[in-house]
Each structure stands twice: as C-alpha cells, then as structure tokens.
Amino acid sequence: MRVNDMSRAVVPFEQSTTLVLVVEMGAKSWLAAGNVPGVERQPMKKLEPDAAALLGLIERWRGEAIKAGRTIGRVVLAYEAGRDGFWLARWLIARGIEVHVIHSASVAVSRERKRAKTDRLDAAMLIRVFLGWLRGERGHCGMVAVPTLEEEDARRPSRERESLVNEKSRITNRMKSALARLGIRGFKAHLRKAAQRLEGLRTSEGTGLPPNITEEFRRDMARLALVREQIAAIEKARLERLQRAPNTGPNLMVRLLARVIGIAIETADMLVREILSRNWRDRRAVARYAGLTGSPDESGTKRREKGLTKAGNARVRRGLIQLAWRFLQFQKKSALAKWFWSRTEGPSGVRKTTMIVALARKLLIALWRLVTTGEVPEGVVLRPAV
C-alpha cells in the first residue's frame, strides 16, 4: 500500500475484538452510535458536545463488551469532517483512541427526492459505511488526513491574507459603484492619496460630492488603510519566519518554489501549506485534491464532459489557474508553455480558457515533483539560490 491511501483501511479488522463508534456531531448535541462486540443491539446515545462525556461513553461500552465475555483489543471512532474540524480527533488520539475523519462528500446517500434525514438515520448510515471501510472494501467512504495543530496554524496567514485582499477589493468596488451613479469614472480609490482628491471630484452636474457620501468614503478609506497595514504585517511576519528557519521542512519547499521565475513568495507559501507539503499517494491524488480533474457523464451512447469536479481545495484551484496564466508570461520557453501554445494556436486550436485548466493541472504535478524529488520541469528558468 502506498502513501496516504485513505480509500480503505490497511489494518486487519477483527470485529469480535473491536469496539466501533461513530459520532454525528451537531452544534448543540452529539449522537454516538456503536457496534459493541457481544451486544446484539446497536446502541445509540445522545450527548452534550463534550469530549470527556464521549470518552466516558466509550469506557462504558467497553465495559459492556467485557461483561458479555469479549476482550476489546482495539477501539476505533469516526466522525464526518465539518465545522468542528480536527480538534476532537487529536484529543482522542492523545488518549489512545484510534480516530478517523470521514470525507463528507464520499458517503453515498439515497437519491430519492424527499428522503428521510435525521441524526439517528445519519448515524446508522455512518456506522455501515465505516464498517465497510474497516473491512478494507473500497467505495464505502473515504477518509481525510488529520493535520497537526502546527500544520493547521501554518495555513492561517495565507488564508487571512486572502480574506483581507478580498475585503480590500470589496471596499474599492463599492466606492467605484457609488461614484459611477454620480457620473464619476476613473477615480482610483485604492491609491494612498485618494482621500486628498475627494474634494476635487465633480459630479456630471458640476457639483462636488454630497456630504453623506463624502463621509462614507472617508470611513471606507480608513478601513482600506487598516487592511493595507494588516496585509503588510502578514507579509513581513512570513518573511521573518522563512529567515529564522530557511532550511527546515515546508520553509525549504517555499524557498525552492520561489526560485521559479513567475512564482512569488505568497503563491509558493499557499501551495506548500495547502497541498505540496502533504504526503500524496500519486499525481492523480494531487490533481484530485485541487479539483482539477474532469467529471465525465457516460451512459449508453451518451458521452459528455461536465467540466471540473470542483470537489477539492477551492483556494488551491483558484491560485493555480492564476499561476498558469502568469506562467505563460514568465516561462515562455518551458516545455509546458510550448505544449499549451501548440494546442491552442491556429484555426483548429482548443479554446485557451479550456486548456489553461489542463496546464494548471500539469503545472501542479510538475511543482509537486520539484519539491519532493528535486526534478526541475523541462525548460523552466530558476532564480539563483540565495
């Protein structure tokens, strides 16, 4: 079995000595369901959202199995990935419980138009698919890797920066829309001296800006200034972290990716923290996580492609599409760029917006190989090592 194959269990499953639990987690309550050796019924118990209470329930069901004459050599628990993240998995693992987190989209559900859905039905379904996964059968469900607290925390700066950049664009676009309704175009609200130029603006009627909209713009510009300061602080802190430990783990990957002309520190850091620093089974798994694989629809004589699955990490997918366009500008002599142009030029060429997705997928796999094996993509120019 290769690295990180989460589609089936690799440990032999002895159902007669294994206590199996699933937890349907909600905001106000948890519902635990179990498969207890020696107990014919499948018990369910509603709990407060409290990890200690869940651990107590596990010990209680373990005791019931022992009373029935069974020896419990393994306790496995699963729950669906969701708003609670991975803290419960880490907490239970630290206390000797084997925990798996189920990928929610990998569980097959009934396609009836009005299917019954309750926490008890969901818990019963989870216990069925989890037992199938434990037996080593494919197709029941898939698991997601449980990251460490440090790995989760390392993703926060890049995600916060993206949120701030979106906030900056939102404020700027709202100001431009308000000015357009007054017949004013061409005003660059994102410039640092924009506040000083507000008084000189004139509407299409020849008057200055109304007083209320002027005050609103001043508040918006104050928010823009704060957002710019926070973005600069995040970027400065990231550079300091790279300088403190330049040759350790993910930081080394970031520095190697940043050597590729056309890839800046921000893009390199996002790719490494979100996808490239993980242990992937193969190149197909890498592309699948980014949502850059196709979704064919074939039935009988019908053959069509429904486009990208978009089932992976949307942040990685957006960044790679942008990077692919930038790659064509800065790496024109690379084999990947030549491959792209050979298929899009001429009257019979494929649309560029379609082929850019294929280029993004190939580029992701090439960068994955670069940071894992050191294989430089053919024709790609690197900056000198610092």
Q: What does the pLDDT average to over 94-120?
A: 89
Under a CB-based contact definition with an 8 Å cutoff, are residues 159 and 315 in contact?
Answer: yes
Residue 4 has pLDDT above 60, yes or no: no
Under a CB-based contact definition with an 8 Å cutoff, are residues 203 and 182 in contact?
Answer: yes
Beta bridge partners of 44: 33
Least confident of 239-253, 255-269, 302-316: 302-316
Residue 349 has pLDDT above 80, yes or no: no
pLDDT on residue 5: 63
**Position with higher pLDDT, 347 vs 271:** 271
pLDDT on residue 1: 36
pLDDT on residue 195: 84
pLDDT on residue 2: 44
Write phi, then psi, for 9 (nearest 5 degrees). -75, 145
Q: pTM value?
A: 0.85
pLDDT on residue 106: 87
**Per-residue pLDDT tens for 193-219?**
888 888 888 888 888 899 999 999 999
The two three-digit tokens of residue 255, written as one number: 């520095």
Residue 3 has pLDDT above 80, yes or no: no
Write the DSSP symbol of residue 195.
Answer: G
Write the DSSP symbol of residue 104.
Answer: G
Residue 309 has pLDDT above 70, yes or no: yes
pLDDT on residue 73: 92
Q: What does the pLDDT average to over 100-108?
A: 90
Q: How far is CA 83 from the centre of its chain?
A: 13
DSSP string, 260-306: BTT--HHHHHHHIIIIITS--SSHHHHHHHTT-SEEEEEETTEEEEE
**Per-residue pLDDT tens for 214-245?**
999 999 999 999 999 999 999 999 999 999 98
pLDDT on residue 361: 94
The average confidence (pLDDT) of the chain is 91
pLDDT on residue 294: 79
Share of the chain above pLDDT 90, in %: 67
What pLDDT band is residue 17 in, cutting at 50, 70 and 90?
very high
**Position with higher pLDDT, 347 vs 332:** 332
Residue 371 has pLDDT above 80, yes or no: yes
